[in-house]
Structure 1
Amino acid sequence: MVLRRRGPVLGLVLLLAGCFTSGEKASVVQQPKTPAVRTISSFSEALRCMDQLMWSHGKRDIYITSNGLPDATGRVAGGTKEMLITAVSRMSEASGAFRFVDFEPALDDVNALYWMIGVQPNFRAPSYYIRGAITQLDDNVVSEAAGAGISVPNLDLGFSADQVISLVTVDLNIGELVTRQIIPGMSASNTLAVVSSGKGADAGAVIGKAGLSFNVSLNKSEGLHQAVRTLVELSTIEVLGKLTRTPYWQCLGIDQTNPAYLAEARSWFDTMEPTQRVSFVQRVLSSEGYFDGTVNGQLDERTRNAVSRWQADHDLIATGRIDFDTYQRMMAKDSGQKASPGRVQSVSNAGGEGLPRPAPTPAGAGPDLVLSSDRGPTPRYRAGEALVVRVQPTSDGFVYCYYKDANGTVARIYPNRFQPDAFVEANRQVEIPPGVQKPFNLRMDRPGADEAVACVVSRDEIGVRIPDQYKREDLQPIPGAALSDVVNAFGSAKGGEGTRTRQLNVKVLPGTVAGGG
């Protein structure tokens, strides 16, 4: 009985031993010679520079998307969307400037987007989308050729050399997702010329930009795909720099006085609202220790004095006025460079101004807040469309929000009869008006007008201490009051020293009413 059990087991063991010992051991003929390495392009340093630039200029949480960059030539098959996402990610690692929403912005998807906003409370709709393509590929164009030969009886000798150029072009544009309108002036078109020599293993690549040349290191064996990545990164730096109105040319090693970029900076300055200019200057002055007041966009005496001191220290005429020379010099200094991570920095929207950037609140300091909208930090609407305000305090506090319409009429929109509690817990986002079925609407009514929302947050319930003239029913006009009057009333009230105010500027686009012909 015992032997019958051991016999089969022993045979099995011997059989397995034969399997393991009888065959020849296979030797490794060849191992991979090229180890995997991280992709480092000619603009990797520029992307890191952009990350720092975005942080120092207070750019944060700008939601964008793209459906990729198709190859219009049909000859370069590459993952251009992933190249674009990687570029955006690298310039947002520390700053958090951009949030890429993986959402295909086709027409049907825009309809689905509104559905997702209603059913997914954590879904953030992108404000902008990047579109573009590989628009040009001229391959193997012989630019130079030379040859010589000699023939004698019984001997033929010959020599030839040539240079071959391949041209690749990438075009990028930025559009507003909701309106599907391409924003004028926020485009990039860059061409890379790959020069290959018939007698060498390497290829040189050159990009022409604003009268300058960028020399790009490129190996022949990499083909055109690395060239496309290089163009995608350069074009992304350019269009997102234009979107955020940051001096992106600094990260490309281009001098501040280059005529092309000097003209671009001048255009930004001329098209900024006066309050945007003042807010920008106040943030720079605050980061460099010249100004310790509230960034409110008001050119008051305190701000003028700070501007004068800054101008005198930087070899400018101390006028106290915000002119282009002051604006340009402040941009050139990488505003915020003296600040360190963790301090409160201001966040600008794509137009150059806007939201606060909250940081961890120091012990004993009052709460701060983030003020945004259902269309991001730089909302634009057509007449007839409704605004949804989003406010989020950094720590527990009492929040009060006021809305100024196109006529300058001011009304309290939070707290309101549908949201009666002014107290909001830390990091809880409140939507005004609330819910999917809105109990009231903040509807835009005048094309081309500028409207605004200002929110105040404090540790104590300051709203009960402001003057009675500002204590009106919710959603009702406050007679004779400007938005700044109401905001200043909170700061002037007893215990109002620790209040924080943030303002969201709303642009109503010119043109026909939404839904009209």
Structure 2
Amino acid sequence: MRWGALALAVATLAGCASTENALKDANTLLTEREADKLLPVTNLSPYALALGRFGRMLDIYKEGDPVIYMQTRSILDATNLSSPLVGAEIPGDITEMVRTAVNRIGARVVYVPYHPDYLVSQAQLGAKFGVTMPDFLITGALTEFDRAIAGAGRVNSAGIEFGKGNGKTTLGGDIKRTAIYSALALDLNLVSFATQQMVPQVQASNVVKVLNFSSEDNASLGFYGDAFGFKLEGKYLQGRHSAIRTLVDLSVLELIGKATNTPYWRCIPNGTPDPVVVENMRAGYNALTPELKLGLIQVTLRKYGEPVQVTQKYDDATRQALEKVYAQRYPALGAVDVMTWQGFEPLFFGVPMAWDTAQKPALVGAAPASGVAAPVGSKAGA
């Protein structure tokens, strides 16, 4: 009987440890791990969508204008914290991130690569190609990396003990949370390629905070000297490279938005007007002659879908289009004089975009005829 049981056990073990079962287990393990494997995803920062919107905005605001050609100098780390001697905590060269951000905008802003060694080697092989000179150069650097600028921690503990002797029981637990913030900053400037001078007030200087968060949970249970427990630890360190890409996308948007004097902040949820762009447009508009102002008003009305002709005259079609647009979109302004910047500003900065929220209809009873004052010295049909 004993030998029979032993033979049965050996046969059972031999059957379980077969080549067929090993292959089956390997295939099962492979299937499970493949199902859990993380797949690549598109590397988009929160401002990547804004760059695409900005490209569509340029298609509307800069219709008919020449393409802007951009190039960059090397955008490097000026803090020296990218050195391997200090742990290489941040990238030493973010030029490629800047190129990607510029190229994301669209056909109105074209990036011109600069690889002279490649061009020379291709020319030696007989290649023929033209050279596009850029309009602007982007310069800048990572200028700040302040570690642990602020931090805080909290600990909650509790314990209870009851019973005596062999029935003594203890319960305990604690919760610990720690958060530390660091800061990264990027400075970008725009240089005119023709003059090799920086474009005044066209720069971007932005900072992002990076979070280092850790958690720890402990619990224990004891019975008369014998105890067991568990401990859970977690840590989240916001990616510094990802944070820098966010900085790059925002800074490129701001830089080119200022350079083109377009309301780029409308591409960002809850964006606020840029005083540099507003002031540039105010000064430029006030410097125009009345005829050129009327021409710009008519061009802007066409962006609202109004079928007016650019005649540089305050004709009936222009008057009716102004009354319609201001009554429907800006009824709270009342009577305005579009020949002044205060009257023209909402018309210029409020050109409809595809991502805008639906506008409220004009209030019933709003009189379109009194919504826009006739330009001084002009009359219908003049």
TM > 0.5: yes
Q: TM-score range by the shorter chain?
A: 0.5 to 0.7
Q: CA RMSD in A?
A: 4.0
State the shift of 1:42 in Å.
1.2
What do residues 230-272 of structure 1 show as CA deviations (whole Å, max 9, x unaligned)? 00001111111111111111111235xx5x6367414421244
State the shift of 1:166 in Å.
1.4
Q: What is the 5 A alignment of 1:322-401?
A: 322-334=339-351
Query: Which amino acid counterpart does residue 192 of structure 1 have in structure 2?
Result: V
SS of 1:233's partner is helix
State the shift of 1:199 in Å.
1.3
Q: 1:320/1:331 Cα in 2 relative to 1: closer, same or farther (>3 Å)?
A: closer
What's the counterpart of residue 97 of structure 1?
A: 108
State the shift of 1:191 in Å.
0.7
Q: Distance in 2 between matches of 1:157 and 1:288?
A: 64
Q: Distance in 1 between matches of 2:268 and 2:246?
A: 13
2:51 is aligned with 1:47: yes
What's the counterpart of residue 191 of structure 2?
A: 175
What's the counterpart of residue 38 of structure 1?
A: 42
Runs of at least 5 residues in structure 2 that lack an aligned partner in the other structure: 1-21, 83-89, 121-127, 160-170, 217-234, 355-382
- 1:282–1:303 CA contact under 8 A, matched in 2: no
SS of 2:103's partner is helix
Runs of at least 5 residues in structure 1 that lack an aligned partner in the other structure: 1-23, 113-119, 201-218, 338-517
Q: Distance in 2 between matches of 1:311 and 1:157?
A: 65
SS of 2:274's partner is helix
What's the counterpart of residue 152 of structure 2?
A: 144
Q: Distance in 2 between matches of 1:335 and 1:167?
A: 36
Out of 95, 99, 109, the residue aligned to residue 85 of structure 1 is 99
What's the counterpart of residue 201 of structure 2?
A: 185
SS of 1:91's partner is coil
SS of 2:38's partner is coil
SS of 2:77's partner is coil
Identity %: 23
SS of 1:77's partner is coil
Query: Which amino acid counterpart does residue 208 of structure 2 have in structure 1?
Result: L
Count how many residue pairs are aligned between Structure 1 and Structure 2: 275
SS of 2:346's partner is helix
Q: 1:195/1:183 Cα in 2 relative to 1: closer, same or farther (>3 Å)?
A: same
What's the counterpart of residue 62 of structure 1?
A: 68
State the shift of 1:140 in Å.
3.6
Q: Distance in 2 between matches of 1:237 and 1:293?
A: 32
What's the counterpart of residue 178 of structure 2?
A: 162
For structure 1, which segment, 38-47 or 71-80, has the greater mean C-alpha deviation from structure 2 after superposition? 71-80
SS of 1:250's partner is helix
What's the counterpart of residue 294 of structure 1?
A: 310
SS of 1:199's partner is strand
Out of 241, 246, 250, the residue aligned to residue 234 of structure 1 is 250
State the shift of 1:136 in Å.
0.4
State the shift of 1:281 in Å.
2.3
What's the counterpart of residue 252 of structure 1?
A: 268
- 2:157–2:174 CA contact under 8 A, matched in 1: yes
What's the counterpart of residue 126 of structure 1?
A: 134
User: Highest Rg: 1 or 2?
Assistant: 2
What do residues 177-200 of structure 1 show as CA deviations (whole Å, max 9, x unaligned)? 121111111111111112222118
SS of 1:254's partner is coil
Q: Distance in 1 between matches of 2:204 and 2:274?
A: 13
What do residues 148-174 of structure 1 show as CA deviations (whole Å, max 9, x unaligned)? 7899xxx99876432111101111111
Q: Distance in 2 between matches of 1:144 and 1:222?
A: 17
Q: Distance in 1 between matches of 2:296 and 2:72?
A: 29
Q: 1:158/1:286 Cα in 2 relative to 1: closer, same or farther (>3 Å)?
A: closer
Q: 1:328/1:129 Cα in 2 relative to 1: closer, same or farther (>3 Å)?
A: same
Out of 274, 277, 284, the residue aligned to residue 261 of structure 1 is 274
Q: 1:279/1:134 Cα in 2 relative to 1: closer, same or farther (>3 Å)?
A: farther
Q: Distance in 1 between matches of 2:250 and 2:181?
A: 20
Q: 1:122/1:305 Cα in 2 relative to 1: closer, same or farther (>3 Å)?
A: farther
Q: 1:171/1:303 Cα in 2 relative to 1: closer, same or farther (>3 Å)?
A: farther
Q: 1:101/1:143 Cα in 2 relative to 1: closer, same or farther (>3 Å)?
A: same
Q: Distance in 2 between matches of 1:175 and 1:68?
A: 13
Out of 270, 279, 282, the residue aligned to residue 283 of structure 2 is 270
